[in-house]
Structure 1
């Protein structure tokens, strides 16, 4: 307990009156000394005279409140002043109670005990608050960890999905000749096609590894550009090599000039690998399987890309769910339900949108709206 009074006798009197309570007492003979004492060690209660040379009790009380901020310490002003305006001034300065001089021992001890009980209550609330905040922080970390594990699980399944596509390309390439069996131009073209597909696969694997590293250690990678015309040609060749589209007629509708967007070229491959693979699965039982993929200029510096098939189409009640993770209309074991969610995430990261276009009769048309890369031309599509 801190007793502040410029009069030595008054300090001694208060100390004697409080002696039955056996509190540890500290003393200050001025306002400046009291502030220095509080900075050195925060007391549980302050008993302070008002009329002191230099800083009076009102000013010291105000400065203590500013110094201690949220720390709840009872401050009792002991004064001979009894005018209402002085009481109001003391309360506005931050005092909790007043005691008139001369101080009555029993009243002093009773008020001190009550104020210390209030302080103990505030300390208990502060402790409970700190404990609650610590618990909230622990729970928040647990939620973040659970969310991180869920994200990693989804990501791991997505990587597995992509690696499965790549493995099919590799398997088909390994089953094909690496050197022409004869000197015909067609044989040499097949070998060159295989090599190009393997190059694309190698790039795809490299980018997957880089993506995993970016998740563990994000960096501000420089934006790249992808030509969607070139992307569609590469994806068509990769899927033809795997045999995924051998049962269907695949037609590309491309403009004469490049259609460039701000995107990683391998991510662009990933989008159309998923969309055309889904279309290939959809037309397996169609009488004349047909898949069309293309890109064309849109209004206001936009591009429209699409993948269309003549399969059975997507029921209207399922169109709102096809982009949900792990939702699939394919038989058990035939799909992970991750292709379209990954596609949607990638397209939106480019500043684009993807949706299923309403169609009459059979078939599905997936449409992607994308911004053109700056300074790129706006070509017209031609079959």
Structure 2
């Protein structure tokens, strides 16, 4: 197992257990994806109008993204960093949580920034990180009627592209902020969080020179209404454009 990931999975047989579990998960996942494809062929485009179908499709896709993210964490040599357009990748993260985003209506906003902002790294890592941050933001506003969530893609000079996820929810307690990226640390109620999401998101982004951080209140680019704002920094593509 690569150094630095040993705190993600524990136990005497962790090196065998984690890849083995991913392998076992992929078998039923492939079956579920095949079954969904067959249903689409049989029933046609009318399925797209069924909310339960869209939710099912989204959840299977979400499982696939989770499996892919863990595989990259455990075996980063299996994929190669590349230039990619950041906006569509972030849009993919929003799609994976569409069943939770859609009910918010105008209380959710997605701003993909000017032009085709290009990053360099592994798109699957950004999908994993952005989806995790958005899921956390949606969790944070569950008990805050009228609260907003916004996802933005911003250009940070010529060196990086930022993905910012802001919410008007419960906030992160000040005493918890130094520990939020620790493995297995969570501020969520028992059964609602594993404490691995932020840790894995940061680890995945760091593999290619990116980072994830909690935006301080004095940051000039922070939304003024945001109670909590996280930022994913993606190194800019050297060529200045996506393929």
Do they superpose with TM above 0.5? Answer: yes
* Alignment-derived partner of residue 220 in structure 2: none
CA distance in structure 1 between the aligned counterparts of 2:114 and 2:57, rounded to whole angstroms: 22
Q: Write out per-residue CA displacement over residues 232-252 of structure 1, whole angstroms, 9 at most, x where no aligned residue.
A: 211111111xx3334433211
* Alignment-derived partner of residue 113 in structure 2: 255
* Alignment-derived partner of residue 228 in structure 1: 86
For 1:202-351, list aligned pairs within 5 A: 204=65, 207=68, 210-211=71-72, 215=75, 219=77, 221-240=79-98, 243-248=99-104, 249-351=107-209
1:369 paired with 2:227, answer no
Q: Write out per-residue CA displacement over residues 204-244 of structure 1, whole angstroms, 9 at most, x where no aligned residue.
A: 367358548x64xx74743233322111211111111xx33
Any gaps of 5 or more consecutive residues in structure 2?
Answer: 218-223
For 1:184-203, list aligned pairs within 5 A: 187=49, 197=58, 200-201=61-62
CA distance in structure 1 between the aligned counterparts of 2:184 and 2:117, rounded to whole angstroms: 32
Q: Report deviation, 1:371.
A: 1.6
Q: Report deviation, 1:295.
A: 0.8
Tell me: CA distance 1:343–1:150, structure 2 relative to 1, closer, same or farther (3 Å): closer
1:153 paired with 2:4, answer no
Tell me: CA distance 1:182–1:288, structure 2 relative to 1, closer, same or farther (3 Å): same
Rg larger in structure = 1
Q: Write out per-residue CA displacement over residues 44-71 of structure 1, whole angstroms, 9 at most, x where no aligned residue.
A: xxxxxxxxxxxxxxxxxxxxxxxxxxxx
Match of 1:317, SS? Answer: coil
Contact 1:313 1:362 in 2 (8 A): no
CA distance in structure 2 between the aligned counterparts of 1:181 and 1:222, rounded to whole angstroms: 35
CA distance in structure 1 between the aligned counterparts of 2:229 and 2:123, rounded to whole angstroms: 23
CA distance in structure 2 between the aligned counterparts of 1:365 and 1:299, rounded to whole angstroms: 20
Q: TM-score, normalised by structure 1?
A: 0.46
Q: CA RMSD in A?
A: 4.1
The number of residues matched between the two structures is 214
